[in-house]
Amino acid sequence: MRLLTHCPLPSDRIYLSPPHLGRHELNYLHKAVEDNWVAPVGPNLTGFEADLCAFTGVGHAVALHSGTAAIHLGLRLLGVGPGDEVLCPSFTFVATANPIGYCGATPVFVDSEADTWNMCPARLREAITDRLTRGKK
Assess contact for 62 and 49: CB atoms under 8 A. Answer: yes
Give the closest residue to 96 by CA, choosing from 105, 39, 113. 105
pLDDT digits (tens, 9 = 90+) for 81-120: 999 999 999 998 899 999 999 999 999 999 999 888 899 9
For the whole model, what pTM was predicted?
Answer: 0.71
| Dist CA 33 CA 9 (whole Å) | 28
| Dist CA 48 CA 42 (whole Å) | 10
| Dist CA 37 CA 52 (whole Å) | 20
Helical segments of 10-136, H only: 23-34, 43-56, 67-77, 94-102, 121-133
Q: What percent of the chain has pLDDT over 70?
A: 88
CB atoms within 10 A of CB 100: 21
On the question of pLDDT at 42 being above 90, the answer is no
pLDDT digits (tens, 9 = 90+) for 43-52: 888 899 999 9
| Dist CA 72 CA 39 (whole Å) | 20
**Beta carbons within 8 Å of 131's beta carbon, 6+ residues apart:** 85, 87, 108, 137
